[in-house]
Amino acid sequence: MRNPLKKEFSLSLYLEDKRKLINNTLLDIIFLLDEERELISAIKYSLMANGKRLRPVLSIAAFECIEHIEKTDKKDEDFSKLILIPACAIEMIHTYSLIHDDLPAMDDDDLRRGKPTLHKKYSEASAILAGDALLTHAFFILSNPDLLKSKKSLNNDILIKIISIISNAAGINGMVEGQMLDMQSLNKDNSDSLEYLKKMHSLKTGKMIQASVKIGAIAGGASLEEINMLDKYAENIGLAFQIVDDILDIEGDASIIGKPVGSDVANNKMTFPGIIGLEQSKKYAKDLIDDAIAKLKIFGHQALPLHEIANYIIKRNY
């Protein structure tokens, strides 16, 4: 049942399997550190807080999607480890971004996934430093692919490419600028600007979702055409993910999404339904997902997990 190549593919089993792999790898990485230290326990609190692991799952699914991998031994545990370290680096960067976004000077959130945010549980200083440490440690594990004593690791040419892709997506021209635009959107009247909203989301979440898929493809040895198709797939699901977030804030179940329904309107946040309406937003998300799925055609049945993840993004309820 866990073989994604079989017809009776179950996304929930696939996700469960991959999340377990990712969580175990993250725990292995933390295990190398001294958990008695406040910095490490703060990092562990946030990193192991029941995340969806969407980004690292995408890295693994893209890695497995690349056709010629089929020719090698997919059951070789060391082989599958090739993508686990980069995938975990992505998750660490995602976690750091949540920690810093929650800070009082930023979104000032007290709760994250039903638990106190890191600065509430520890202190503001610890939260800033835990974020800084997670971001930095992501690049440490990327440049030490044999950290977990795997017999195989990606070669340095590929690692440099991956580091470039991730640092580009996470930084000055990606996620950090997206958060900056998000902060600035509260101060000015952009409430009618669909372009601004799309740009903000593309930078804030889209680029890292694209990077997640791209590093998987590159680690798997994808051709330029394959990379381009997967990149368009990722761009579409990234934007759809954000639109669905906005829709859930109106139609979702507060007990499932983990925050009060209507908080976007209450916080005067720019949203897709706010600009183009609820029905149009739903149609937009569906069109993006349809287009994303069309991009997977060249990969055949090996793209089944990516196909189902795209469907899940639009059908999810949290």
C-beta of 158: minimal distance to a second copy in Å? 9
Cβ distance to a second copy smaller for residue 10 or 41:
41
Q: Is 157 in the site for a second copy (CB under 8 A)?
A: yes
148 sits near a second copy (criterion: CB under 8 A): no
Cα 87 to Cα 16, 141, 169, 205: the distances in Å are 16, 10, 14, 16
Helix (H) or strand (E) holding 116: strand 115-116
Q: Reduced to 3 DSSP states, what percent helix, strand and coil does the chain have, rounded to the nearest 5?
A: 70, 0, 30
**Does 48 interact with a second copy (rule: CB under 8 A)?**
no
The amino acid that residue 308 corresponds to is E
Q: Which is nearer to a second copy, 131 or 305 (CB)?
A: 131
Six-digit token string for 144: 């030490």
- Interface with a second copy, residue 267, by CB under 8 A: no
Which span (174-182, 235-243, 263-271, 298-306) binds a second copy, by CB under 8 A? 174-182
Binding segment for a second copy among 52-60, 168-176, 229-237, 290-298 (CB under 8 A)?
168-176
50-58, 151-159, 210-218, 304-312 -> range binding a second copy (CB under 8 A) = 151-159
Determine if 139 is a binding residue for a second copy (CB under 8 A): yes
The answer to the question of residue 46 lying near a second copy (CB under 8 A) is no
Instruction: Kindly state the smallest distance separating residue 134's Cβ from a second copy, in Å.
Output: 8
> Residues in contact with a second copy, total (CB under 8 A)?
47
If one asks whether residue 135 binds a second copy (CB under 8 A), the answer comes out as yes
Q: How far apart are CA 40 and CA 38, in angstroms?
A: 5
CA 120 from centre of chain: 24
> Given its phi and psi angles, is residue 289 left (phi above 0), alpha (psi -120 to 50 degrees) or beta?
alpha
Contact segment (CB under 8 A) with a second copy among 180-188, 210-218, 223-231, 271-279 equals 180-188
Say whether residue 156 binds a second copy (CB under 8 A). yes
| 173 binds a second copy, rule: CB under 8 A | yes
DSSP characters over 277-298: -HHHHHHHHHHHHHHHHHTTGG
75 vs 103: CA distance, rounded Å: 42
Q: Which of 53, 100, 201, 207 binds a second copy (CB under 8 A)?
A: 100
CA 104 to chain centre: 23
| DSSP single-letter state for residue 149 | -
> Residues near 195 by Cβ (< 8 Å), separated by ≥ 6?
none
Under the criterion CB under 8 A, does residue 129 sit at the interface with a second copy? yes
Nearer to a second copy, 5 or 172 (CB): 172
> Which bin fits 150, alpha (ψ -120 to 50), beta or left (φ > 0)?
beta
Q: Which residues bind a second copy (CB under 8 A)?
A: 33, 37-40, 43, 96, 100, 103, 105-106, 123-126, 128-129, 131-133, 135-137, 139-140, 142-144, 156-157, 159-161, 163-164, 167-168, 170-173, 176-177, 179-180, 183-184
